[in-house]
Amino acid sequence: MLEQVLYVLSWIMLTVGGFFVLVGGIGALRLPNFYTRMHAASVTDTIATFLVLGGLLLQAGLTIATVKLIAILVFLLLTGPTASYALANAALLSGVKSNATFRKVNGKGSKSGAGQETSVNQETDASQETSASQENNEEQSK
Amino acid sequence: MREEQSASQSKTPIILSWLVILAVVWLLWSGIYKPLVIGLGALSCLLTLYLSHRIGFFNESTSIHVIPRIMGYWWLLFVDIIKSSIDVTRIILDPKLPISPVEVELESAPKGPIGQAILGNSITLSPGTVTIDVYKGRMRIHCLTEESANDMIAGKVNERTAELTEK
Amino acid sequence: MSMYVIVSIAILVTMTLALARALKGPSVYDRVLAVNMFGTKTVLLLAVVAFFYGRPDFLDLALAYALINFVGILAVLEFFQSQRNDDEEQAKEQEE
């Protein structure tokens, strides 16, 4: 009885995982610019990985394969965001444009001196953005 | 000199516990229990410990107390990931592709480097939001839609990370 | 048995889509993103294939591939960044 439940559950997890993998692939092809494509890759990196490896875990039972699967899962979930951040930050520094509206939110935590910080930060942001646009212009002129 | 000694003494239990962890991992993964293979395993464990010592890993591991607290946090994150994945999936499969990209600049509640790393990775981990820059305690986050930005701000990830690392 | 086939096909189709993005992608970073995606999907495919053929040693390959993929992506990004810095330095020298 329990075996059958686990079998059906792993079947569902694997199929839904495959569905999310497919969605990520479609998104990577359909979405219009670099930063939005990162969100599609993020879907396959988190929920799809979790569901596929989770489904395999239920199939494995309690063997050495279980330990290895858990290790792969933990490793992928730890390194995925790190690689994404490195990629996004490299793209930002090299001036890839996002076409996004900009919004500033102050944390609810520490409010002391927040006004000063934001004003300073706005200036640095403006300079960053101008330097990025200059770089873009240079690339276009080349 | 005395300070160095006391520091190395307080580090010894941490190094020993890492040795045990590495040995268990080796034994579980190799699955072959011959003297040669186990000897190689012992050698590689010691090499790993020496290399971690060289890059100053054991000076940073005072924050090991985070690990028991992190379980509840993982559950919160897991629920968050499922919700936002379904949202992003709906957007990608919608023929009209209703995206409205927003960049949010958020002041991170945790002040230490470990807390900020955990916060940035958690935000990247949930689909719909990607951390693209961390600069002096401020995070620049790219969101796929207005809604995902609002959910991210309304969600308690920021405050929870601060609670997790600073108590 | 058949569920492994379904998942494998889904992963293979996504790998093809990622390759298409890698070929099409306008910027270098689009290509790196697509290659990273291809790599993580390879890890999943190796894990599924391990169960499909009943050969658990494939899981070791998946783990090794995950490690190599991560380090490889970071190395490629580092390479592009240092290349860009060199270009900027050269531009500055030329200006001077």
Chains that touch C (3 or more CB pairs under 8 A): A
3-state SS, residue A102:
strand
- What is the pLDDT, as a whole number, of residue A19? 92
| Chain A interface includes B106 (CB < 8 A) | yes
Q: Express as a percent the part of chain C with pLDDT over 90.
A: 42
Sketch the domain layout of chain B as residue ranges: 2-55, 66-165
A14/A66 Cα distance (integer angstroms): 16
Which domains occur in chain C, in start order? 2-95 (1.10.287)
- What is the pLDDT, as a whole number, of residue C68? 92
| Chain A interface includes B101 (CB < 8 A) | yes
Torsion of CA A132, A133, A134, A139, to 10 degrees: 90
| Nearest Cα to Cα of residue B91 among B132, B141, B147, B50 | B147
Average pLDDT over residues C39-65: 89
Mean confidence (pLDDT) of chain A: 74
Asked if pLDDT for residue A69 goes beyond 60, the answer is yes
Q: Indicate yes or no: CB of A72 within 8 angstroms of CB of C66.
A: yes
- What is the pLDDT, as a whole number, of residue B44? 92
- What is the pLDDT, as a whole number, of residue C90? 78
3 state SS for A104-135: EECCCCCCCCHHHHHHHHHHHHHHHHHHHHHH
Name which of A26, A48, A72 is nearest C59 (Cβ-Cβ): A72
Enter the DSSP assignment of A47: I
Q: What is the ipTM of this complex?
A: 0.83
Chains that touch B (3 or more CB pairs under 8 A): A
Q: Indicate yes or no: CB of C66 within 8 angstroms of CB of A79.
A: yes
Average pLDDT over residues A62-90: 87
Contacts of C18 in chain A (CB under 8 A): 25, 28
DSSP alpha helices (H): ranges in chain A?
2-30, 34-43, 49-60, 64-93, 114-141
3-state SS, residue C54:
coil
Name which of B28, B92, B142 is nearest A27 (Cβ-Cβ): B92
Q: Indicate yes or no: CB of A18 within 8 angstroms of CB of C11.
A: yes
pLDDT digits (tens, 9 = 90+) for A48-63: 999 999 999 888 877 7
- What is the pLDDT, as a whole number, of residue A120? 33
pLDDT digits (tens, 9 = 90+) for A21-48: 998 899 888 888 888 888 888 888 889 9
Closest CA in chain B for residue A89: B132
Q: Express as a percent the part of chain A with pLDDT over 90.
A: 11
Tell me how close the Cα of A25 comes to any Cα of chain C, in angstroms. Answer: 5
Q: Indicate yes or no: CB of A75 within 8 angstroms of CB of C67.
A: yes
* Distance spanning both ends of chain B, measured CA to CA: 31
Closest CA in chain A for residue C54: A60
Better-predicted residue by pLDDT, B11 or B142? B142
B16/B58 Cα distance (integer angstroms): 11
Closest CA in chain A for residue B161: A109
Within 10 angstroms of residue C41's Cβ, the number of other Cβ atoms is 26
pLDDT digits (tens, 9 = 90+) for A81-93: 889 988 888 888 8
pLDDT digits (tens, 9 = 90+) for B79-92: 888 888 888 888 88
CB A35 within 8 A of CB A42: no
pLDDT band at residue C46 using 50, 70 and 90 as cut-offs: very high
- What is the pLDDT, as a whole number, of residue A116? 32
Better-predicted residue by pLDDT, B154 or C66? C66
> What is the CA B16 to chain-centroid distance, rounded?
23
Average pLDDT over residues B27-45: 86
CB A39 within 8 A of CB B128: yes
Closest CA in chain A for residue C37: A41
CB C10 within 8 A of CB A22: yes
B49/B21 Cα distance (integer angstroms): 11
Across the A:B interface, residue pairs with CB atoms under 8 Å apart total: 140
Contacts of A69 in chain B (CB under 8 A): none
Asked if pLDDT for residue C1 goes beyond 70, the answer is no
- What is the pLDDT, as a whole number, of residue B60? 61
- What is the pLDDT, as a whole number, of residue B47? 93
Q: What DSSP line would sit under B81-150, residue for residue?
A: HHHHHHHHHHHHHSTT-----EEEEEE-S--SHHHHHHHHHHHHHSTTEEEEEEETTEEEEEESSHHHHH
- What is the pLDDT, as a whole number, of residue A110? 34
pLDDT band at residue A137 using 50, 70 and 90 as cut-offs: very low
Residue C6 neighbours by CB under 8 Å, 6+ apart: A14, A15, A18
Q: Indicate yes or no: CB of B29 within 8 angstroms of CB of A64.
A: yes
B42/C41 Cα distance (integer angstroms): 33
- What is the pLDDT, as a whole number, of residue A93? 83
Asked if pLDDT for residue B66 goes beyond 80, the answer is no
pLDDT band at residue A125 using 50, 70 and 90 as cut-offs: very low
